[in-house]
Amino acid sequence: MSTPRLIEQKFLDYKTSSGFWLYLMTDCVLFASLFATYAVLHAAIAGGPSASDIFELPMALTETIILLTSSFTCGLALLALRHNNLKQLIVWLGVTYILGVSFLTIELSEFGSLIQAGHSWQQSAFLSAFFTLVGTHGLHITVGLLWLLVIVGVLFKRGITPKVKRQLMLFGLFWHFLDLVWIFIFTVVYLMGVAA
Amino acid sequence: MARRDNDYQRTLINYVVGFLASLALTFCAYVLVSGHILGGITLLLVIGGLALVQMLVQLLFFLHMADESRPRFRLVSFGFMAMILVIVVAGSLWIMYHLNYNMMGMSPSQKDTYMTTQKDKGF
């Protein structure tokens, strides 16, 4: 099994994913600064609504479960990839994609109803910080979904190649990481916002 | 081939365990808040703790951080990121809290009244 070519491939995989991991760590620092901003400004409501006035926990819980499940199905897709099972791989990636789109839809509808009620990012520092933090996460999800579309397109065209394998591995890291960031958004913004 | 199947089984179990544990932890935190079981600072500490546990669960079972072989570059870079994160978040909160206190240009007694009302608001 361990032909020089395979070892070379493995080394390349490790190198690529380590570089991508470093990018994820810098992204964490970006989110850390947004979390810090939110934490500092969460009480600066300027006469507008506070966190407990506008957040609906059941909706945030639904979003959390959807994103968690999509992280799980993404893991299952990576497993299918390991077995070179193209059909299973595409099915799980499809499920991941649909869950990701539903997450984004719920988030955008939440943003929409907030803005319609007059609570846009212009109203208070709290709302600016909220829209920036949650919106940045939503932007990452959007980019991830576009990336996934491209990967599935390549899979349909060329099948499982070493290159697309590596892409999928990186996508898996990205998607799991976004789920992790959301756990903290759910806890800090929604749960603590309603609890306080 | 048998070794490969074993590996497959193990990874699958990892994902299922990680998924179920994450779901359980999320529900725990949700019920604690929506059911008004705890209150005040205890509640905040407990749900913060639950989020940290869930982070560990996902790092181990979804991102397989324990499986990395030496030298553990990922673990090292993660540790460094965590340090920066703590400095940025805790540092900002600390500084901004004291700025509010020190930069208001009020007499000490006015300041005390103001701070008490701020504290009641939870800031």
Other CB atoms within 10 A of residue B79 CB: 11
User: How far apart are alpha carbons A108 and A127 in whole angstroms?
Assistant: 15
> B20, B25, B30, B50: best mutation site toward chain A, by most A Cβ within 10 Å?
B30
User: How far apart are alpha carbons A193 and B44 in whole angstroms?
Assistant: 10
Mean pLDDT (whole number) for A26-41: 94
Secondary structure of A68-105 in HEC code, one letter for each residue = HHHHHHHHHHHHHHHCCCHHHHHHHHHHHHHHHHHHHH
Q: What pLDDT, on a 0 to 100 scale, did the predictor assign at position A33?
A: 96
User: How far apart are alpha carbons B4 and B9 in whole angstroms?
Assistant: 9
Question: Are B93 and A39 a contacting pair at CB < 8 A?
Answer: yes
> What DSSP line would sit under B15-50, residue for residue?
HHHHHHHHHHHHHHHHHHHHTT-S-HHHHHHHHHHH
Closest C-alpha to A48, from A113, A110, A114, A138: A114
pLDDT above 60 (res B42) = yes
User: How far apart are alpha carbons B27 and B21 in whole angstroms?
Assistant: 10
Nearest to A68 among B26, B88, B92 (CB): B26
User: How far apart are alpha carbons B21 and A145 in whole angstroms?
Assistant: 26
Residue pairs spanning A and B at CB distance below 8 A: 113
Question: Are A64 and B88 a contacting pair at CB < 8 A?
Answer: no
CB of B25 within 8 A of CB of B54?
A: yes
> pTM of the predicted model, to two decimals?
0.88
> A26, A28, A40: best mutation site toward chain B, by most B Cβ within 10 Å?
A40
Q: pLDDT digits over B47-103, tens only?
A: 999 999 999 999 999 988 888 777 788 899 999 999 999 999 999 998 887 776 666
User: How far apart are alpha carbons A25 and B74 in whole angstroms?
Assistant: 9
Mean pLDDT (whole number) for A115-137: 94
Tokens 């940025």 belong to residue = B88
Of A183-187, B5-9, B93-97, give the lowest mean pLDDT range: B5-9
What is the average pLDDT score of chain A? 92
Band (B15; pLDDT cuts 50, 70, 90): very high
User: How far apart are alpha carbons B9 and A82 in whole angstroms?
Assistant: 12
pLDDT above 60 (res A1) = no
Structure tokens at B37: 């079981």
Closest C-alpha to A185, from A92, A110, A73: A110
Closest C-alpha to A18, from B60, B75, B62: B75
CA torsion sign for A126, A128, A131, A137 is negative
Mean pLDDT (whole number) for A146-168: 93
Q: Does B66 touch chain A (CB under 8 A)?
A: no
Q: Does A55 touch chain B (CB under 8 A)?
A: no
Domains in chain B: boundaries: 1-67, 71-123
User: How far apart are alpha carbons A172 and A72 in whole angstroms?
Assistant: 10
Nearest to B51 among A25, A65, A187 (CB): A187
Chain B contacts of A37, Cβ < 8 Å? 92
Chain A closest-CA separation from residue B107 CA (Å): 23
CB of A186 within 8 A of CB of A64?
A: yes
> What DSSP line would sit under A127-194, residue for residue?
HHHHHHHHHHHHHHHHHHHHHHHHHHHHHHHH-S-HHHHHHHHHHHHHHHHHHHHHHHHIIIIIIHHH
Question: Are A32 and B29 a contacting pair at CB < 8 A?
Answer: no
Distance of CA A26 to the CA centre of its chain: 15
ipTM of this model? 0.88
Chain B contacts of A75, Cβ < 8 Å? 15, 18-19, 62
Q: Does A73 touch chain B (CB under 8 A)?
A: no
Q: What pLDDT, on a 0 to 100 scale, did the predictor assign at position A78?
A: 94
Q: What pLDDT, on a 0 to 100 scale, did the predictor assign at position B1?
A: 47
Q: Does A7 touch chain B (CB under 8 A)?
A: no
Q: What pLDDT, on a 0 to 100 scale, did the predictor assign at position B117?
A: 80
Domains and CATH numbers, chain A: 4-195 (1.20.120.80)
What is the average pLDDT score of chain B? 85
Q: Which DSSP letter does residue B36 get?
A: T
Mean pLDDT (whole number) for A36-58: 88
